Amino acid sequence: MNPLTTFLLFVLTALAEIVGCYLPYLYLSKGKSAWLLLPAALSLALFAWLLSLHPTAAGRVYAAYGGVYIAVAIVWLWLVDGIRPTGWDLLGAGVALCGMAIIMFAPRAA
């Protein structure tokens, strides 16, 4: 899998996880409809399936995915929560993405 495809798959995976957790948050904390739990469950199932599409060891995928999740969560903070990320937020996300790249794309023996 090429690096761009890997990265985009991680972004979709992160969005599925965030939506799957954000909808129950709205129900539990903001008094929104319990019906939000149904799409939340579907989104979390999608999240698990998307993680399974990576052709490498699960532990490596989970570790690298965390870096992309952090960056997507910072974008979510801005676009959904309406809070502009600080320079520190962006630096942290950048460091996490560097870690993801090292984990996923480092040369390995065949």
Q: Tell me whether residue 72 is in a domain.
A: yes
- Measured CA to CA in angstroms, residue 110 lies from 54, 104, 107 at distances of 17, 14, 9
Q: Which domain holds residue 60?
A: 3-105
Q: Tell me whether residue 110 is in a domain.
A: no
Query: What number of CA atoms fall less than 13 Å from residue 57's CA on the CB side?
Result: 7
Q: Tell me whether residue 88 is in a domain.
A: yes
Tokens 């972004």 sit at which residue? Answer: 11
| pTM for the whole structure | 0.87
- Give 84's DSSP letter: P
Q: How many domains does the chain have?
A: 1
Q: Tell me whether residue 37 is in a domain.
A: yes
Task: Give the relative orientation of helices 3-30 and 87-105 as an angle to the nearest 10 degrees.
Answer: 130
Q: pLDDT tens digit string along 31-79?
A: 999 999 999 999 999 999 998 898 787 888 888 889 999 999 999 999 9
